[in-house]
């Protein structure tokens, strides 16, 4: 006997009767704002779905036919041939969703935006939302701010029919197959060669992948300018879209503090008491909540899990897991056990809904690309800064880059690096370091380039110091690649010449992730966060770079021990000379050409230039420290330290190292080019030390000098540099070789740019003394050149000096 169950409820003022029969379920809905529809569920007679649908909507089974491939989740999706239908429940209308667009299968690009599905009469709108503006809901201005969030309409859709619970059924195919800017991965889409590949509905997201075909300009030929009339070429890309509902319960945001490095999102708050709209910066971080809020250390409710790309070489997977696990101790210090780890991505049998492009998963991609790089990024909830997805991209040729850097910076310490290729155990450890750094970005951390200057240069040669501190820099988020300062006799453990998660990283994780009990708003946390950040006042290695400190000599890339770059670069040059000495032994093999030797020699010259640049940064440099209302933030370096830097450059940059000019090596890699390579490297150093931003700082430091501070002036800088570049002029017999002739010609070219600025640049900077100083200096230099001419020891030197005299005259007499 059939059982009849009746339930009547009020829906929009109209009674709705639901009857459940053993043979199936028929829902009859009649609402005031939509036509009546009859929807057949599994087992219902076909006739029950054929009711007419006035108002333009069709009967459900005429839209969602028996050929439909249906997936149920956040929405119900139906694929019918080339058509894709969304069945959007009423509860998901006017709900913030994050649309994440990613290139897949090697097409690496990304876009994130917040959208909403809205109903407007018989249409559904897809509208973009912005959370740049905000105001507390209790404030009078709140409604006006809400109106300002009114975003652009990306697309509109006719309502095809109504599904169960009054869900709106729309055809969204054109979002993914036509030239809608917000969805297009390729310009100028060609519809017949663009098609949807897969659709999957999950409880919190919709995942869609398509092949899009369009046109792009061809990439330029390396070393050549782009062709002005280049014709577009056809390109296809696999594109993945995730539409994920933003958390219904937003995470409580944490306000940024400039003393601690975090990536952040900014809102403009009109509801603050400061009598103006205030920019509020929220740090980006995962939502880590303790399973046991009362425990000092607890498992998290939801840990941070990075899924490893199946494309990663199998031998590299254990190193990738170690890279993520390296952050575990820092999270334990913040109160979380097993908070972050990596696992291999599940296959279809394990999790049919998993996607490496899905916005719900944090992932580690291994990209088949010749790009020698790696990146880390996040997808966030813009309302609060909550990280919804962390993403690490490791490009295959990162291994080539790490081989070159490690050989040039560390082979004096590690004998394994003197044989190519490196063993997997060494290469795995190097890539582990790269991934640890990129995971740092993915969990919320920017670079901290000040870190490498926070340990004294001599301390990072001490085995006991390095072992106690866990490495040669307090943060893995610096570009302090390898300990090139340490000498072989220091016996630094090999694992400690590679950067590790350090004391600053532990401090930053605690500052950003440790829960603060009893707080209900970001403002409630400020006093505690300020107390934590103030630890930097007494512990210097917990400091973060000052973001507007362009003059800070300690905030440099690719540097180690750069608080005292003269000492560090002196040690580094000893090591580089050793390394260049065994270049042939490492890279020369009877079964290989000289490509690797050429590449490593070029890396050695580049590294030499880095060491010189680290020292040059002291000229016009300052020490900076972020403070909140407790003292000065910027202090110019002493005159003595700046002069020491110039003396170092005169000895080491403006005199060509003999070990770079070994004919046995040079004749193996090139028929010509050594002279030009050295000229270019020395010119770069000279450009740096005499750059406008350095000379202008020196002028300002002199003008604003306080009592007791003796500034280093531009005149002194030019006199000191001239003493190194032109020292031959003071000798009894003047002989100048080709390397020095090139350097001296470039010196005059640098001066000339101040006296006669190139066409298209400012002819005269009325706010600076640079032009007058440079003109006076050239006049004095011309006098010295003419005094030296009678003492020229050979014809080439004599012609060189005459040419320089002519060139200076041309510059001084030029008119603009």
Per-residue burial over 37-53, b if 16 or more Cβ lie within 10 Å, else e, is bbbbeeebeeebbebeb
Angle at 435 between CA 433 and CA 440, to 5 degrees: 100
pLDDT digits over 772-806, tens only? Answer: 999 999 999 999 999 999 999 999 999 999 999 99
The first and second tokens of residue 800, run together, are 């060189």
pLDDT digits over 453-481, tens only? Answer: 999 999 999 999 999 999 999 999 999 99
- What is the Cα–Cα distance from 424 to 432, expressed in whole angstroms? 12
- What is the Cα–Cα distance from 222 to 232, expressed in whole angstroms? 18
- What is the Cα–Cα distance from 726 to 804, expressed in whole angstroms? 12
Looking at residue 232, its pLDDT comes to 80
In this model, does residue 142 exceed pLDDT 50? yes
Mean of pLDDT values over 660-684? 93
Angle at 556 between CA 555 and CA 562, to 5 degrees: 85
Rg (CA), the chain: 33
Looking at residue 49, its pLDDT comes to 39
- Categorize the per-residue pLDDT at 48 as very low, low, confident or very high, splitting at 50, 70 and 90: very low
- Categorize the per-residue pLDDT at 319 as very low, low, confident or very high, splitting at 50, 70 and 90: very high
In this model, does residue 20 exceed pLDDT 60? no
In this model, does residue 181 exceed pLDDT 70? yes
In this model, does residue 53 exceed pLDDT 50? no
3-state secondary structure 99-127: EEEEEECCCCCEEEEEEEEEEECCEEEEE
In this model, does residue 2 exceed pLDDT 70? no
280 pairs with which residues across the strands?
Answer: 267
Residue-averaged pLDDT of the chain: 89
Q: What SS3 state is found at 78? A: strand
**Sheet strands (E) in 335-421:** 340-344, 362-367, 374-381, 386-395
Residue that wins the pLDDT comparison between 330 and 233: 330
- What is the Cα–Cα distance from 469 to 481, expressed in whole angstroms? 16
In this model, does residue 11 exceed pLDDT 50? no
815: how many CB neighbours lie within 10 A of its CB?
A: 4
User: Of 43-47, 58-62, 488-492, which has the strongest mean pLDDT?
Assistant: 488-492
- What is the Cα–Cα distance from 499 to 128, expressed in whole angstroms? 42
- Categorize the per-residue pLDDT at 55 as very low, low, confident or very high, splitting at 50, 70 and 90: low
- Categorize the per-residue pLDDT at 641 as very low, low, confident or very high, splitting at 50, 70 and 90: very high
The first and second tokens of residue 584, run together, are 């042939």
Contact (Cβ atoms closer than 8 angstroms) between residue 583 and residue 635: no
- Categorize the per-residue pLDDT at 98 as very low, low, confident or very high, splitting at 50, 70 and 90: very high
- What is the Cα–Cα distance from 679 to 357, expressed in whole angstroms? 48
Looking at residue 39, its pLDDT comes to 36
Looking at residue 274, its pLDDT comes to 81
> Which of 71, 131, 123, 121 is closest to 96 using CA atoms?
131
pLDDT digits over 256-295, tens only? Answer: 999 999 999 999 888 888 878 888 999 999 999 999 999 9
pLDDT digits over 344-397, tens only? Answer: 999 989 988 888 988 889 999 999 989 999 999 999 999 999 999 999 999 999
């Amino acid at each position: 006997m059939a059982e009849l169950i009746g339930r009547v409820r009020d829906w929009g003022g109209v009674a709705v009767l639901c009857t459940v029969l053993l043979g199936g379920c028929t829902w009859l809905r009649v609402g005031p704002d939509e036509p009546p529809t009859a929807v057949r569920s599994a087992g219902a007679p076909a006739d029950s779905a054929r009711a007419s649908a006035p108002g333009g909507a069709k009967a459900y089974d005429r839209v969602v036919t028996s050929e439909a491939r249906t997936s149920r989740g956040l929405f119900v999706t139906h694929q019918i041939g080339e058509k894709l239908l969304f069945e959007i429940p009423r509860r998901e209308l006017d709900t913030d969703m994050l649309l994440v667009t990613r290139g897949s299968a090697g097409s690496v690009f990304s876009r994130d935006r917040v959208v909403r599905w809205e109903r407007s009469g018989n249409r559904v709108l897809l509208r973009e939302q912005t959370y740049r503006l905000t105001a507390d809901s209790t404030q009078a201005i709140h409604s006006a701010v809400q109106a300002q969030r009114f975003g652009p309409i990306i697309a509109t859709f006719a309502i095809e029919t109504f599904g169960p619970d009054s869900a709106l059924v729309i055809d969204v195919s054109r979002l993914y197959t036509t030239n809608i800017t917000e969805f297009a991965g390729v310009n100028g889409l060609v519809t017949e060669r663009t098609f949807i590949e897969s659709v999957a509905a999950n409880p919190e997201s919709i995942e869609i992948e398509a092949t899009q075909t369009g046109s792009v300009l061809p990439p330029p030929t390396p070393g050549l300018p782009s062709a002005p009339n280049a014709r577009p070429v056809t390109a296809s890309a696999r594109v993945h879209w995730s539409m994920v509902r933003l958390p219904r319960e937003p995470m409580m945001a944490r306000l940024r503090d400039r003393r601690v490095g975090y990536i952040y999102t900014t809102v403009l708050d009109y509801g603050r008491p400061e009598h103006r709209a205030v920019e509020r910066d929220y740090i980006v971080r995962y939502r880590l909540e303790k399973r046991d809020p009362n425990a000092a250390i607890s498992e998290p409710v939801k840990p941070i899990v990075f899924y490893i790309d199946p494309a990663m070489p199998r031998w590299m997977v254990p190193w990738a897991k170690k890279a993520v696990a390296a952050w575990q101790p820092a999270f334990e210090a913040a109160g979380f056990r097993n908070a972050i780890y990596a696992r291999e991505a599940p296959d279809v049998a394990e999790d049919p809904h998993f996607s490496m492009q899905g916005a719900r998963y944090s992932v580690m991609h291994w990209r088949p690309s010749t790009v020698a790089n790696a990146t880390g990024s996040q997808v966030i909830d813009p309302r609060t800064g909550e990280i919804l997805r962390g993403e690490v991209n490791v490009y295959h040729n990162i291994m080539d880059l790490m081989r070159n850097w490690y050989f040039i910076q560390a082979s004096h310490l590690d004998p394994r690096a003197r044989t190519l290729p490196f063993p997997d155990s060494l290469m795995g450890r190097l890539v582990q370091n790269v991934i640890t750094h990129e995971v740092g970005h993915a969990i919320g951390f920017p670079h901290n380039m000040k870190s490498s200057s926070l340990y004294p240069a001599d301390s990072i040669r001490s085995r006991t110091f390095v072992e106690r501190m866990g490495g040669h820099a307090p943060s893995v988020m610096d570009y302090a690649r390898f300990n090139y300062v340490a000498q072989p006799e220091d016996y630094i453990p090999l694992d400690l010449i590679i950067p590790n998660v350090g004391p600053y990283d532990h401090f930053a994780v605690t500052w950003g992730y440790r829960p603060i009990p009893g707080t209900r708003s970001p403002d409630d946390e400020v006093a505690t966060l300020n107390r934590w950040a103030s630890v930097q006042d007494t512990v210097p290695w917990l400091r973060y770079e000052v973001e507007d400190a362009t003059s800070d000599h300690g905030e440099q890339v690719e540097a180690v021990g750069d608080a005292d770059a003269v000492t560090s670069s002196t040690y580094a040059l000893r090591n580089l000379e050793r390394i260049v000495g065994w270049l042939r032994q490492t890279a020369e093999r009877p079964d290989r050409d000289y490509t690797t030797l050429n590449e490593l020699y070029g890396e050695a010259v580049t590294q030499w230039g880095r060491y010189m640049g680290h020292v040059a940064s002291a000229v016009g440099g300052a020490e900076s420290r972020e403070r909140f209302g407790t003292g000065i933030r910027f202090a110019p370096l002493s005159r003595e330290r700046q002069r020491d830097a110039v003396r170092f450059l005169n000895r080491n940059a403006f005199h060509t190292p003999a070990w770079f000019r070994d004919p046995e090596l040079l004749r193996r890699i090139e028929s010509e080019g050594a002279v030009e390579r050295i000229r270019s490297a020395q010119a770069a150093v000279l450009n740096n030390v005499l750059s406008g931003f350095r000379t202008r700082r020196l002028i300002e430091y002199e003008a604003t000098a306080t009592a007791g501070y003796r500034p280093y002036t531009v005149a002194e800088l030019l006199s000191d540099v001239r003493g190194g570049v032109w020292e031959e002029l003071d000798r009894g017999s003047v002989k100048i070789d080709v390397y020095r002739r090139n350097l001296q010609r470039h010196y005059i070219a640098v001066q000339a740019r101040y006296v006669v600025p190139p066409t298209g640049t400012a002819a005269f900077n009325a706010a600076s003394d640079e032009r007058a100083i440079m003109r006076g200096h050239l006049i004095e230099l011309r006098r010295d050149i003419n005094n030296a001419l009678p003492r020229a020891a050979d014809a080439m030197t004599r012609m060189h000096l005459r040419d320089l005299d002519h060139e200076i005259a041309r510059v001084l007499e030029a008119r603009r």
